Homo-oligomer: A and B are copies of this chain.
Amino acid sequence: MAEPTAKTEHYVGVDLGGTKILAGVFDDKLNCLARTKMSTKAERGPEEVIERIARCVRDAVDEFDLDLKQVRGVGLGAPGAVDAEAGRVIIAPNLQWQDVPLKKLLEKQLGGVPVAVENDCNSATLGIFEKELQCKPRHMIGVFIGTGVGGGIILDGKLYSGFNGTAGEVGHMVIAVGGPKCNCGNRGCFEAVASRTAIFRSLHAAVKDGQKTVLTEMLGPDLNDLRSGDLRKALRKGDKLVEKVIEDAAEYTGIAVANLINIFNPEIVVLGGGVIDALGDEMMAVIVETAQDYALSGTSKGIQIVASKEGDDAGIIGAAVLARRAAK
């Protein structure tokens, strides 16, 4: 098996999430050769999580019949504020991490293979930029809608990370002053009105309020174990409540995208993340229409607004890009 790729170089990209760890082995052209998945078990603390990341990396490498020594580098996207230069996670609320020297600890676990660390949305943006867009746009904004909402910024073909390395927190752009409470403590953030959490909160409130939806037939009166996929099923059954809630989220997303267009005047805005992966077909038309409506007249000419085709893989691809960049 190793023969045909003996001359190529291999990188491992890791997407570290609050609930799962994804790892993928990539060749120099960013083709994914093998991948593994493991639960994060964040409650066990950073050391054990880092051991699990290392195990996930080793498993992926072994899956493709390689040895760690044949891997030129490992990249990792982490869910929080990251000091990429120092390889430290400054703060990651979903993991309950604070100031973790991830690069150093993971390199130790991996016997010295070099590790590069970035914020997960920055990493996913980089993955989409290099693989899906072939580095063609000069300025690109990535917007990722899942449990939360995050973003990544490519300007002049380079990842822009700002003064403290935390640029791109588009999910905490306030668009509805005085609106629903956000996890960050403020009200009316983009994340508080358009994330999966926001959508589920609206649905729970509506059901409690006595509104009808097929979701209660599917999952019971408490909407136990509600997932994005259930919403897609409900939409296909013509469920009016789900339709309305999803349309609202799409409109808010369109307004947020227009804000980013007015601010950055980028060449392209790419949307991704769990909500877009599951409901992109249903949401994108409203998102694009609203964004064009709210973007300042004449300034959005030629600007594309699209859903990423990479889905869940954007994170590991981007992490592999990090590893490849660090090795060169």
Contacts and interface: CB of A to CB of B under 8 A. Distances in A.
Nearest to A178: B176
A161 interface: yes
Contact of A265 (B138, B155, B167, B262): B167
A266 B163 contact: yes
Interface stretch (A21-29, A124-132, A293-301, A307-315): A293-301
Interface in A75-90: 81, 90
Bin the interface of chain A by size. 35 or more
Interface string A128-163: 000000000011000000000001010100001111
B298 A162 contact: no
Contacts of A166: 265, 296, 298-299
A258 interface: yes
Contacts of A184: 296-297
Contact of A161 (B167, B168, B265, B267): B265
Given A172-B262, A174-B175, A262-B170, A163 B294 contact: no
Nearest to A252: B177
Given A162-B139, A163-B138, A177-B252, A91 B262 contact: no
A161 B231 CA distance: 40
Contacts of A267: 163
A103 to B, nearest CB: 19
A102 B315 CA distance: 46
A165 interface: yes
B174 A265 contact: no
A172 B91 contact: no
13 contacts: A161-B265, A162-B266, A163-B267, A164-B299, A164-B303, A170-B262, A172-B259, A173-B263, A174-B259, A174-B294, A175-B175, A177-B252, A186-B294
